[in-house]
Amino acid sequence: MADLRGDILVTREQEKLLVSDVSSFIVAYSSGEILDSERMFEPQPEGIFYIARKIEETQDVLRGEELEAGKASVEIRFGICSSRPREPYYYSTTLKNISQSKLRIVKFGGYSKDGNEWILNTITRGFFTGEQFKQWYGVDNDGWIKPGQEVTDPNNYGGPTGLWTYYCVTDTDEQFITGGIVDWFGVQKDKERA
């Protein structure tokens, strides 16, 4: 664990380094899953790991109309990735609970378009978990997103266009799917206009 103070990086041993002198790094969630890295090295620190691929690929196909009910409960926005603002296909993803119920994401994933259908297409070959959602989007430990609350993954990654879907359950056990289509080129154009 290190602390960033301006352009000084303070290690857990309290060693102070200039950020400009750092040529290799790993940024990981508290779970140990790697969020970002530069010039990876071996061996990795104990407890640090890459996202795991599923042994068997999950096949899932959606049509857009399956997401309509969820739009009344969750608003999805895409924006600039603050850590990689110019790198292709990095962006932030924000979900806002616009319902009157608390909700929890039980699984989620990115989809690619194939004709009139959307096909699950993630680095893991399956869905991401509710636990990963909590880590990546900064959700409270209880996992609930309260009415009016926004949660954001500031470092999302995917193709230039895609559908991000979220499988939700409310505190009254209602289940629904919601999703939003990201257009990385549109996000960049919005940035230029701002």
3-state secondary structure of 80: strand
Which sequence spans correspond to the domains of the chain? 3-38, 61-193
| pTM assigned to the model | 0.74
Give the model's confidence band at 159: pLDDT under 50 very low, under 70 low, under 90 confident, else very high.
confident
Taking the CB of residue 69, how many other CB atoms lie within 10 A of it?
Answer: 13
Choice between 67 and 189, residue whose per-residue pLDDT is larger: 67
All residues at 6 or more sequence positions from 15 whose CB lies less than 8 Å from its CB, including other chains: none
The average confidence (pLDDT) of the chain is: 83
Residue 35 has pLDDT above 60, yes or no: no
CATH 2.60.40 fits 61-193, yes or no: yes
pLDDT at 38 over 60: yes
What does the angle CA 86 – CA 88 – CA 94 come to, to the nearest 5 degrees? 85
**DSSP 8-state secondary structure symbol assigned to residue 144:** -
pLDDT tens string 78-123:
999 888 888 878 899 999 999 999 999 999 999 998 888 889 988 8
